[in-house]
Amino acid sequence: MKRLGWTGTVATLLVGFVVQASAFAQNPEQYQKRRQAVRDAMEPDSVLIVRNTPITDDSGLPRLDPNFYYLTGITEQGSALVLYSSKREAQPGGGTGEMMAAGTRVGISGSGGVILFKPVPAPMFRPGQVGQPAPPQPAPEHPGFAPGTVRRSSDFQAFFERTLLTATRTVYLDYRRSFTLGGPMTEDEQLLKGARDRGATLTIKPASMLLAKLRVIKSPEELQLLRQAAEITAAAEREAMRAAKPGLFEYQLQSIIEHVFTINGARRPGFTTIVGSGPNSCILHWSENTRQTQPGDVVVLDIGAAYQGYSGDITRTIPISGTFTKRQRDVYEIVLRANEQAIEMLKPGVSMREVSTKVRDILGEGLLKLGVIKDKSETFKYSLHGPTHPIGLQVHDVGSTAVLEPGMVITIEPGLYFPDEGLGVRIEDDVLITTSGHEVITASAPKSIEAVEALMKQGGGIDFRRYLVPKIGTN
């Protein structure tokens, strides 16, 4: 096959980003529909509070609160959203009316059931204004929120405390908890205790549980973003296959993968990039990526690009020398068969318990034929994880996928692991459940033995060596 130079390679990496990126942004009406759906799902006379506080992921990096982003599309830290139930119960002395009255007492009124608290940008001073008082700042605004429903984030704390004091029904809130009995209470726990000590009779329920039921079904706009994340992730898998060769460090393959992410507008991974070679291929969430690959290794590439908040998740296992050994091929074919036959089962109404059983049976039958086990009940020794999870705003997204419905997006990821041999094989795809069946949105990442080996022989991938500089103090 023709080898691609640097320019040609970059062209193959730009998976429609320049043309399509702006078209994929979700419009304000989508977020309005979601907020209304939440309000309709809430208990009568209840209030839901979601704060955009950073969440630390497995890489130690802060991420936006996915529930807040799902309902607003806003990325500014320090923001908060308050939703009042659209259902009322005509009972005197409490409920939504009293809680909204609490909002009026701190200057929040006319909300129409929705209030957004948002930081106000610092004023810019022009020459001649030094020493003069800053002019009053106008109330913040945001697309999709009616005039008068957006307030300064500096007003939120007083509103929050007043709501806790006056609520007599359910408050949906994910609050920070302490994890030791003898340790200090979190600020949220202190506020809740203070409210109850003053006679508040509110009931706290997790906001995340209510939102999970809605988030598990993706809208058409979300599906576009997930498809784009999947395409970018698949492009990174292909580029890693082209570049792979013995002697590369795992972190060098990681850098190639994440370069493809960035150049296509996915400015960060959806989770910590996993490049596990040799013995590390058997460590499920290996993230150190420090080992130098050796001839004959397999390398597990478990990667996902985060595109406008939505994550892809693809795993491919490749032979670093370009060709699978017979042993590697035998194990790979078992895992591939489990992956493909599980995907074929996917359609609305199918139970994931049935799919999991199918995967386990295929893996067990394969291990029996290889002589690794004597009974299929021993399969768990070599298959160390479940075969699926939902994906979306989080790589392990929320919501139950026990019975499949149209609009769900899940992974299928069987694996077999032999630590004594330094041989781990995992193959993972992202699959959309459609009204008539399924769509594999990661199909452009090669996974058959023939396709993987052919692409690795093609070469033409990013040559990291052009960026290497000699170590100081060496000849």
Catalytic residues: 58, 285, 302, 313, 385, 389, 396, 413, 417, 426, 428
The angle, 0 to 180 degrees and rounded to 10, between the axes of the packed helices 449-458 and 220-243 is: 60
Q: Are strands 310-311 and 305-307 parallel, antiparallel or unpaired?
A: antiparallel
The pair of structure tokens assigned to 181 is 């009995």
**Dihedral sign computed on CA atoms, order 88, 89, 92, 96:** negative
CB 225 within 8 A of CB 436: no
**Per residue in 66-93, is it b (16+ CB within 10 Å) or e — as a string?**
bbbbbbbbbeeeebbbbbbbeeeeeeee
Residues near 220 by beta carbon (within 8 Å), at least 6 away in sequence: none
- Cα 232 to Cα 238, 414, 442, 456, 458: the distances in Å are 10, 22, 9, 19, 20
